[in-house]
Amino acid sequence: MLFFVVMKSEIRLLGIDDGPFSFHESYTVVIGVVMRGGGYIDGVLRRNVQIDGVDATDICIEMILDTRHRKQLKAVLIDGVSLAGFNVIDIERLFHETELPVITITRDEPDVVSIEEALRGHFPDWRQRLDILNKGITHRIETAHTPIYVKTAGIAIEMAKEIITLSTIRGVIPEPIRTAHIIASGVMRGESYGKA
């Protein structure tokens, strides 16, 4: 099932990104930014997620279902398909349980061979994590700058491209994700740094 999203300049989007972390820590922060298109913040949501854990999907679902902004949201944009290392997000489950289309965006093309090797070497449940990571098609989308790599659940790629274009002000990363990254980085380290 695919959702049709009516495009308006102030479409309400939720951008999600995690904070920086080191592997001797147990948890890091996850920030959700509710934004109108790419220009006006309506709210900020916060949760903790286990580093290399298995709770990322549940945390994202909880964040969405518990927010007072839930009824206004039209799509969820996430920086990649995992949080806090290899805490993988099942974007299909996220879509089905929240009834919101999901779009993941990364700057770098996923290196599936390296990812599988890393998972095999560190996790007894590596195959389950890999199966979740491999759900859906990774689309390469050209931009005026560099290409981005996108996966979707519950929305056609052409409509996802429209949402990305509408919510991107500068560069290639939509503003809801970029803002979530800045806030998460600032919360964890005292000052934001790095690119989403």
Q: Could you read off the pLDDT of 56-105 as tens digits, one per residue?
A: 999 999 999 999 999 999 999 999 999 999 999 999 999 999 999 999 99
CATH of the domain at 80: 3.30.2170.10
Closest CA to 194 of 20, 35, 55: 20
The structure's pTM equals 0.92
Q: What is the pLDDT of residue 7?
A: 59
Asked whether residue 82 is assigned to any structural domain, the reply reads: yes
Asked whether residue 152 is assigned to any structural domain, the reply reads: yes
Asked whether residue 46 is assigned to any structural domain, the reply reads: yes
Q: What is the pLDDT of residue 93?
A: 98
Over range 139-160, report the average pLDDT: 94
Q: Tokens representing 8? A: 């308006």
Quote the domain boundaries for residue 28. 12-189
Pairing of strands 87-88, 148-153: unpaired
Please check whether residue 41 is in contact with residue 34, taking contact to mean a CB–CB distance below 8 angstroms. yes
Q: What is the pLDDT of residue 41?
A: 94
Asked whether residue 1 is assigned to any structural domain, the reply reads: no
Q: Could you read off the pLDDT of 167-193 as tens digits, one per residue?
A: 998 889 999 999 999 999 988 777 766
What is the arrangement of strands in the sheet containing 27-36, beginning at the earlier edge strand?
40-50, 27-36, 12-18, 73-79, 102-106, 148-153, 139-141
Which of the 8 DSSP states describes residue 193? -
The number of folded domains in the chain is 1
Which of the 8 DSSP states describes residue 110? -
Q: What percent of the chain has pLDDT over 70?
A: 92
Q: What is the pLDDT of residue 167?
A: 95
Over range 115-139, report the average pLDDT: 96
Asked whether residue 4 is assigned to any structural domain, the reply reads: no
Three-state DSSP class for residue 6: coil
The span from the CA of 134 to the CA of 35, in Å, is 29
Asked whether residue 3 is assigned to any structural domain, the reply reads: no
Q: Is the pLDDT of residue 4 over 70?
A: no
Q: What is the pLDDT of residue 170?
A: 86
